[in-house]
């Protein structure tokens, strides 16, 4: 594990975060005894929360992770999976690169509709957000295409 960690060409703070994640140290102990900065603590906490996720197997899985978590934490999670030898990290990074290169949607803002379109449908408040999330997941899963007409039809039914 530690050989794979030392071979990574990433920022030292990311290596330290991975080391702490690998050793399962108490984050409060790290914060107080090492006087770690808030950025490092946030990086560790957010990446640690990803350890409970299922290992992504395809682009849709990665898009869903990106919807829920920031790019930096998802990438660090991929490095973690590679360092602890849970999966082929090259495959994950290739899928991730494809998502970015092909402009695959993973945020509500990537949808062909927005809140104003849903207001025109008569939706209000929390129903707008939940409908947009539902549409995003349907687009990610390939149930519908990312077009205004397809999403509106999907949400009407």
Is the pTM above the cut of 0.85? Answer: yes
Kindly state the average pLDDT of the residues 2-17. Answer: 88
Residue 155 confidence (pLDDT): 94
Query: How many other C-beta atoms can be found within 10 angstroms of the C-beta atom of residue 148?
Result: 12
Q: What are the tokens at 95?
A: 């899928």
C-beta separation of 104 from 59 below 8 A: yes
What number is the average pLDDT over the span 116-124?
Answer: 93
Continuous H helices in the chain: 2-7, 12-23, 27-33, 38-50, 59-68, 71-83, 89-101, 115-120, 126-140, 148-156
CA angle 128, 69, 15 (to 5 degrees): 170
The 8-class DSSP code of residue 108 comes to G
Say yes or no to pLDDT of 1 above 80.
Answer: no
Residue 52 pLDDT grade (very low, low, confident, very high; cuts 50, 70, 90) = confident
- Residue 157 has a pLDDT of 82
């Amino acid at each position: 594990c530690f050989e794979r960690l030392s071979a990574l060409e990433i920022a030292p703070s990311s290596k330290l975060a991975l080391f702490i994640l690998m050793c399962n140290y108490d984050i409060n102990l790290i914060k107080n005894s090492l006087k770690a900065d808030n950025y490092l603590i946030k990086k560790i906490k957010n990446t640690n929360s990803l350890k409970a996720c299922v290992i992504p197997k395809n682009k849709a899985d990665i898009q869903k992770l990106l919807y829920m978590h920031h790019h930096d934490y998802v990438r660090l999670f991929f490095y973690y999976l590679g360092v602890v030898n849970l999966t082929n990290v090259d495959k994950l990074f290739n899928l991730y690169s494809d998502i970015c290169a092909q402009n695959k949607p993973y945020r509500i803002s990537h949808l062909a509709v927005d809140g104003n379109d849903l207001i025109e449908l008569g939706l209000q408040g929390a129903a707008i957000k939940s409908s947009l999330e539902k549409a995003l997941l349907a687009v990610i899963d390939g149930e519908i295409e990312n077009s205004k007409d397809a999403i509106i039809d999907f949400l009407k039914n």
